[in-house]
A and B are shown apart, each in its own frame.
Chain A
Amino acid sequence: MNTTTKYAATALAAALGVTVLAGCGGSDDKASGDTGAGSKTVTLVSHDSFNASDAVLKAFTKETGYQVKVLKSGDAGAALNQEILTKGSPRGDVFFGVDNTLLSRALDNGLFTPYEAKGLDRVEADTQLDADHRVTPVDTGDICVNYDKKYFADKKLDPPKSFDDLLKPAYKNLLVTENAATSSPGLGFLLGTVATYGETGYQDYWKKLKDNGVKTVDGWEQAYNEEFSGSAGGKKAKADRPLVVSYASSPPVEVLYADPRPTEAPTGVATGTCFRQIEFAGLLDGARNEAGGKALLDFLISKQFQEDMPLNMFVNPVAKDAKLPELFTKFGASVDKPATVDPEKIAKNREQWVQSWSSLVVK
């Protein structure tokens, strides 16, 4: 045996060894992941953005005896569609992450079993969109234009405040937005313009916005990290667009994930350009652990979870008694009059709005 083959043989043996170990790890896992009836495990299915701190999940276990297992599957749209495909024999007990732009799709498909969560009286009334309690509101977030503070300070120019402002010549070629067909902030921004200018007026608005040099990219990652000059990624990429469609909570995130932390957020929010997203959770039809699922829904609107949420998912609580963290109150923007569109109206027209948007702006 020459050295190469000897080496190779050792590598193969090592590989087999590790594989066996991995296999063992897996089977242990499976034993603890049992989700049968009366099980002590409750499974939460969600999208990739779901996060909760370990301490809070442990507190839930201590309180109720149920252990939470989380399954994340893609972005919000993909996660919901997977639930629709597996309807009736769901992978989990509770689904979290359907928002008002997709709510009707979930409800029309009969995804959820009604359950009125305990403590719902503490939840903002205008977020409770389903009278039958098939879904429970958990958080809200605002999709708004963000601006690069440094750019506008250097140019001695006021940042835009409203949808109308974005059409002004002073802001020509400054805004980057996302594809409304593939990106949820992109869709939110489009819906914001529909809410503001009406179902016919929005097309005219976008024509003007296009003439004013709006740039469209496919996803939030590219828009925010590669095109927007105010973000950490954009600075490295020498980005040149000081306006981007993002979230009202983006400025606090820029502060939180900077080292050292600045005393002021590098970006600001144009509060007159916001569209409100409300995210819901619901008990899945056919859930194997219904009792656990109900307990989890109660917990999602409890003060403890609601206060943990902002710094994990960068959204706002819906419970009136939940206090926002200082990071949010200090660096975040409060949006007084966000644009909204009725979920049923969205369900009926989404495709058509997006299609005419595409032919106006993209093609």
Chain B
Amino acid sequence: MAVPVAFFALFFAYPVVAIVGRGLKAGGDWQFGRIGTVLSRPDILDVLWFTTWQALASTALTLLIALPGAYVFARFDFPGKQVLRAVVTVPFVLPTVVVGTAFLALLGRGGFLDELWGVRLDTTVWAILLAHVFFNYAVVVRTVGGLWSQLDPRQEEAARVLGAGRFAAWRRVTLPALAPAVAAAALMVFLFTFTSFGVVQILGGPAYSTLEVEIYRQTAQLLDLPTAAVLTLVQFAAVGGILAVHAWTVRRRETALRLVDPAQTARPPRGAGQRALLGGVLLTVLLLILLPLGVLVERSFDTSGGYGLAFYRALQSVDANGSTFLVPPLDAIGNSLRYALVATLIALVVGGLAAAALTRRAGRLVRGFDALLMLPLGVSAVTVGFGFLITLDEPPLDLRTSWILVPLAQALVGVPFVVRTMLPVLRAVDDRLREAAAVLGASPLRAWREVDLPLVRRAVLVAAGFAFAVSLGEFGATVFIARPDNPTLPVAVARLLGRSGELNYGQAMALSTILMLVCAVSLLLLERIRTDRSGEF
């Protein structure tokens, strides 16, 4: 427990507290009066109001669209299911700079809706809501669908034999078992949409701003640290509240449900109704997820001389006319992979130890720590990035110009995924096995190696895969600290998009496509080694 606590204290709590403190202190005195001043500004209240209602609307819409998907992925067998499960997760780990561009192409002028019905949704709140569904579809499918696939269908059948109608049986048997998972998924979606940054910035235009966007604007653009600090505290309180409720629903879900192997519950769809449902879900996935991703791929091949590989070839060379980077853009892939691997390793060690500690001990304090580990998902990257800058500046921890900052920042977002994946599996390990090993003379280390390790190995790999994919796509914090001689893929994409000219734009699309492929491949590998109970993701 000491390692994860130290890690979070040093690389998360200390920087965040320092930057917030900088904003709220004037001449050594705390100025808590500033909180009231900022919170009574009408423009800030507008932001708070918009942040909340768009998150509520996004969550409702995501549940509406993704729950049928969760059912289909849980209960039906159909060709290509594994691949599709991986593909719907790709948006979740893609950087928003990339996706925002693709989504604009779909909903904006000349986009799909425009061509069909002349409807344009860019810079409307609908674009934001749909993009949020796009990003969070996988959260619902994986969280709810994961549990659904393990519920024994015979229980519902039994209820029907006893005379319950189809709906009544579902409502009385399946729904109560599923409810905590739905609540957990809804809360995660709410958390992600409440703290939405890139989507709102790109698709919302200047008229819409979430708390996270406003924190970025106040910190990075205006250097109005007091306002930023107050907003950070507000977001902190909101996120803390969401996480507390989330932890509570998760605990409820862990209470005894008789679970079965998902392989037994899925079967090919039967009858017109089920086939129509499957068709509907596949169509949704096609329109909502594959189409935006497809637009990126299409544009990466669309050179002025017809379709070709020119943009991909350009990635290999340092620009002869002037170097956007000091290295060829293709090197960004190598950098990204190296950073992500280091980040994964850190996340595994920290998250693994935290999960182990949480399994062994119980009590209010430990549960609080559990929720605390999720906080980095809800704290703005700019706060962490600027916090790093003002805290990690003295020997022996003068890391401000060190390469290690990037994997450290990425590990912060990776750890929650590791913990959430490992925790249920570790908790499921029967303590009596360890005791038996100890009785037979095994040292604690040996007992861990012989008992725990074989049982959790697959969970570790799944956790590693997720941490890896999330690190790969991390953009917010990385952009502040990535060095120019080794940009990561998302940073390289953003820089290329920041320049005019066909080659730059095309290279950005090509790099995005590569990033997407790397993410998709690592997620596909995950599908193959998924454990029977792979936790929440």
Asked whether B500 lies within 8 Å of A231 as measured between CB atoms, the reply is: yes
A8 to B458, CA, bound (A): 8
Main secondary structure of the interface of B (DSSP, over half): helix
Asked whether any CB of chain A lies closer than 8 Å to the CB of B12, the reply is: no
Q: Assess whether A86 is in contact with B500, with CB atoms less than 8 Å apart.
A: no
Flag the segment in B129-137, B247-255, B491-499 that touches A. Answer: B491-499
Cross-chain contact of A82 among B318, B394, B480, B506 (Cβ < 8 A) = B480
- Contact partners of A37 in chain B: CB under 8 A: none
Contact between B310 and A16 (Cβ–Cβ < 8 Å)?
no
**Contact across chains for A12 and B461 when beta carbons are under 8 A apart:** yes
Say whether B223 contacts A311, CB under 8 Å. no
What DSSP secondary structure best describes chain A's contact surface?
A: helix
Contact A259–B502 (Cβ < 8 Å): yes
Residue contact A250 to B500, C-beta cutoff 8 Å: yes
From the candidates B344, B404, B457, B495, name the one contacting A48 in the complex (CB within 8 A).
B495
A259 touches B310 (CB 8 A): yes
Q: Which interface residue of A224, A232, A260 has the most chain B CB atoms within 10 A?
A: A232
Cross-chain contact B341 with A18 (CB below 8 angstroms): yes
Contacts A4-B529, A77-B220; is A71 near B345 (CB within 8 Å)?
no
Q: Is the CB of B502 within 8 A of A257?
A: yes
Say yes or no: A258-B501 contact (C-beta < 8 A), given A53-B322, A81-B223. yes
- A226 in complex: contacting residue of B101, B321, B403, B484, CB < 8 Å: B101
A161 in contact (CB, < 8 A): no
In the bound complex, do residue B500 and residue A254 qualify as a contact, i.e. CB atoms below 8 Å apart? yes
A237 near B105 with CB under 8 A, answer yes
Chain B residues with CB under 8 Å of A71's CB are 401, 483-484
Whether B326 is near chain A, meaning CB under 8 Å from some CB there, is yes
Interface flags for A327-362 (1: CB within 8 Å of B; 0: not) read: 000000000000000000000000100000010001
| Chain B residues with CB under 8 A of A239 | 109-110
A83 to B499 Cα, complex, angstroms = 24
Q: How large is the interface on B (under 10, 10 to 19, 20 to 34, 35 or more residues)?
A: 35 or more
Contact of A19 with B345 in the complex, beta carbons under 8 Å: yes
Interface status of B119 (Cβ within 8 A of chain A): no
Tell me which of B110, B221, B389, B500 contacts A237 (CB under 8 A).
Answer: B110
Return A103 CB to nearest CB of chain B, in Å.
14
Contacts of B342 in A (CB 8 A): 19, 22-23
Asked if A78 contacts B389 (CB within 8 A), the reply is no
Q: Do B324 and A51 have beta carbons less than 8 Å apart? A: yes
User: In the bound complex, what is the Cα–Cα distance between A351 and B224 (angstroms)?
Assistant: 11
Q: How far is the CA of A265 from the CA of B222 in the complex (A)?
A: 36
* Chain B positions within 8 Å of A85 at CB level: 22, 386, 389-390
Give the complex CA separation of A71 and B389 in angstroms. Answer: 13
* Contact between chains at B341 and A15 (CB < 8 Å): yes
- Which of A7, A29, A91, A225 lies in contact with B403, CB distance below 8 A? A29
Q: How far is the CA of A105 from the CA of B222 in the complex (A)?
A: 10
- Spot the interface stretch: A122-130, A152-160, A214-222: A214-222
A295 interfacial contact with B, CB 8 Å: no
C-alpha gap A26/B389 in the complex (Å): 20
**Residues 22-47 of A at the B interface (beta carbon under 8 Å):** 22-23, 25-26, 29-30, 33, 35, 43
- Whose C-beta in chain B lies nearest to the C-beta of A257? B501
Interface string of A67-88 (1 = CB under 8 A from B): 0001111110110011011100
B401 cross-chain contacts in A, Cβ below 8 A: 33, 35, 43, 71, 91-92
Highest count of chain B CB atoms <10 Å: which of A54, A259, A351: A259
The answer to whether B500 touches A11 (Cβ under 8 A) is no
Query: How many Å lie between the Cα of A340 and that of B139 in the bound state?
Result: 51
Q: Is B504 an interface residue (CB 8 A)?
A: yes
**A294 CA to B495 CA, complexed, in Å:** 29
For residue A246, CB closer than 8 A to chain B, the reply is yes
Which A residues lie within 8 Å of B160 (CB)?
none
A175-206 interface bits toward B, Cβ cutoff 8 Å, 1 = contact, 0 = none: 00001011000000000000000000000000
Binds A, one of B83-91, B300-308, B425-433: B300-308
User: Are A78 and B483 in contact (CB-based, < 8 A)?
Assistant: no
* Closest chain B CB from A318 CB (angstroms): 18
Q: Is A233 located at the chain interface by the 8 A CB criterion?
A: yes
A253 part of interface (Cβ distance < 8 Å)? yes
CB distance from B340 to the nearest CB of A (A): 10
| Chain A residue contacts of B303, Cβ below 8 A | 259
Q: Which residues of A contact B400 (CB under 8 A)?
A: 86, 91
The answer to whether A254 and B502 touch across the interface, beta carbons within 8 angstroms, is: yes
Cβ contacts under 8 Å, B105 to chain A: 226, 237
Check A258–B483 contact: CB distance below 8 A.
no
Interchain residue pairs with CB less than 8 A apart (22): A4-B528, A8-B457, A18-B341, A19-B341, A21-B338, A49-B498, A51-B324, A53-B322, A70-B326, A78-B220, A85-B390, A86-B389, A222-B104, A225-B497, A226-B101, A233-B502, A238-B110, A239-B109, A253-B501, A257-B500, A257-B501, A311-B321
What is A's interface to B at a CB cutoff of 8 Å?
4-5, 7-9, 11-12, 15-16, 18-19, 21-23, 25-26, 29-30, 33, 35, 43, 48-51, 53-54, 70-75, 77-78, 81-82, 84-86, 89, 91-92, 105, 179, 181-182, 216-222, 224-226, 231-233, 236-240, 246, 250, 253-254, 256-260, 311-312, 351, 358, 362-363
The 3 closest A-B pairs by CB, nearest first: A257-B501, A238-B110, A232-B502
Given pairs A84-B223, A218-B202, A258-B304, 15 additional interface contacts (CB within 8 A): A8-B458, A12-B460, A15-B341, A23-B342, A70-B485, A74-B480, A86-B400, A105-B223, A216-B206, A232-B500, A232-B501, A250-B500, A253-B501, A311-B321, A362-B207
